[in-house]
Amino acid sequence: MKNLVQNFPQQLKEAMQIGEQAKFTQPLVDIRNVIVTGLGGSGIGGTIVSEIMSDECSVPILVNKDYFLPSFVNAHTLVIVSSYSGNTEETIMAMETALHKKAKVICVTSGGKIADMAAANELDCIMIPGGMPPRSCLGYSLTQLFYVLQGYKLIGHAWKSQLKTAIDLIVKQEVAIKSEAMDFTDFLYKKMPVIYAVDGYNGVATRFRQQINENSKMLCWHHILPEMNHNELVGWAEQHQECAVVILRNSSDYARTQTRIEISKEVFAKYTSSIKEIWSKGDSQIERSIYLIHLTDWISCYLADKKKIDAVEVNVINHLKGSLAKI
């Protein structure tokens, strides 16, 4: 897994090369909404991209993580089917529904049944390299979502230069990123991570949680400000020294929300002595998101090393899928 994380910048570069070659058949009717349907490592890119593009995309982007699609899906909906393996049963069922509803469907996959369905229905389909854990291929899947939105004329081209700058940033900062990640590994070892971020970085925080779950084999949770100030903050009412709070921060965060973070830290400090912040780097939301993703991916790998466990292994998920396959 560490080799795959190390290769993240190169993966992003390769993903851009793939995206530049993608073909997009323009829909016969106007697109009024977008749904990215996918789960786990294949679906988190949808959450991240939808947040980054919220101020630019001309139509709403929703992320679906279930067997079912909303009832509003119709011929005016662009459904982006994202499944790394191409065999995710929830995503396959959602894709079948999208086709039945005559939505405009495009797939991002490495193969499997979804690639076969795309070919059978003559759908646009972006093929990405296979054979790796889906969570380690976020660079491939996330980048293609930008290309899809651009290909269907829902966003412009500015994201490309920002992504290239983000790649350069994490390459230049690699030593510092690894060093900070190692510090956080010691901080989180034998603790319950509690991750907080501001609205707009929910996808990045979710990605961090998922990587802790899968790579580090640890339970944790996350929440977003200012929402958590209206509910979860009240839960900090007794000692939780087993919890280690990690706050993902950006210099660009809204001033009132930054103030909320500082006040919230005062509350946390009454009940846990373990509170640390990770400050992003970069001049755009894409740069800051990519930076945080890369740093927190390293944390999850270093935690696995410290625990002397295999970061790649996901036997419990394989057991679940195997049990479902028998039904």
Cα three-residue angle 99-52-64, rounded to 5 degrees: 30
Residues 9 and 140 in one domain: yes
Same domain assignment for residues 184 and 147: no
- pLDDT reported for residue 312: 84
Q: Judge contact between 278 and 247, C-beta under 8 A.
A: yes
* 103 domain residue, yes or no: yes
The whole-number pLDDT of residue 309 equals 92
Same domain, 109 and 7: yes
Radius of gyration of the chain (CA): 20
DSSP 44: H
Which residue, among 117, 91, 112, 133, has the nearest Cα to 3 in the 3D structure? Answer: 133
In sequence order, the β-bridge partners of residue 249 are 279
- State which H helix or E strand residue 253 sits in: none
User: Does any domain span residue 163?
Assistant: no
Reduced to 3 states, what is the DSSP secondary structure of residue 219? coil
- d(C-alpha 95, C-alpha 82), whole Å: 10
Map tokens 């929910």 to a residue: 202
Q: Could you tell me if 210 and 302 lie in one domain? A: yes
> Of the candidates 125, 156, 187, which is a domain's last residue?
156
Q: Are residues 95 and 131 in the same domain?
A: yes
Q: Mark whether 224 and 249 lie in a shared domain.
A: yes
199 in the same domain as 122: no
Element (H, E) at 48: helix 40-52
16 in the same domain as 134: yes
pLDDT confidence of residue 94? 98
Identify whether residues 267 and 228 lie together within a single domain.
yes
Q: Identify whether the C-beta of residue 276 lies closer than 8 Å to the C-beta of residue 244.
A: yes
Question: What's the angle, vertex CA 67, arms to CA 61 and CA 72, rounded to 5?
Answer: 45
**So what's the pLDDT on residue 321?**
84
The pTM of the full predicted model, rounded to 2 decimals, is 0.95
For 81, 105, 106, 127, the CA distances from 17, given in Å and listed in that order, are 20, 22, 18, 12
Final residue belonging to a domain, choices 97, 127, 156 = 156
Residue 284: inside a domain? yes
Residues 6+ apart with CB under 8 A from 118: 81, 105, 107, 109, 124, 125
Can you read off the two tokens belonging to residue 201? 């970085």
Q: Do residue 292 and residue 258 come from a single domain?
A: yes
263 and 295 in contact (C-beta within 8 Å)? no
CATH for 152: 3.40.50.10490
Per-residue pLDDT of the chain in tens (327 residues, 90 and over written 9): 888 889 999 999 999 999 999 999 999 999 999 999 999 988 999 999 999 999 999 899 999 999 999 999 999 999 999 999 999 999 999 999 999 999 999 999 999 999 999 999 999 999 999 988 888 889 999 999 999 999 999 999 999 999 999 999 999 999 999 999 999 999 999 999 999 999 999 999 999 999 999 999 999 999 999 999 999 999 999 999 999 999 999 999 999 999 999 999 999 999 999 999 999 999 999 999 999 999 999 999 999 999 999 888 888 888 888 888 888
How far is 85 from 312, CA to CA, in rounded Å?
A: 16
Residue 162 counted as domain residue: no
Same domain, 235 and 299: yes
H helices present in 130-230, as ranges: 138-151, 158-172, 174-188, 202-214
Whether 24 maps to a domain, the answer reads: yes
Model pLDDT, residue 131: 85
Tell me whether residue 167 is in a domain: no
Structural domain of 205? 173-307
Structural domains in the chain (count)? 2
Beta bridge partners of 224: 197
Determine, yes or no, domain membership for 273.
yes
Within-domain flag for 13: yes
Residues 34 and 147 in one domain: yes
Name the residues annotated as catalytic.
Answer: 214, 230, 321
Determine what percent of the chain falls in helix, strand and coil, rounding each to the nearest 5.
50, 15, 35
Q: How many CB atoms lie within 10 A of CB 99?
A: 16
C-beta of residue 105 within 8 angstroms of C-beta of residue 81? yes
Number of CB atoms found within 10 A of residue 291's CB: 22
What is the rounded distance in angstroms from the CA atom of residue 15 to the CA atom of residue 178? 23
Which of 156, 181, 212 is the endpoint of a domain?
A: 156
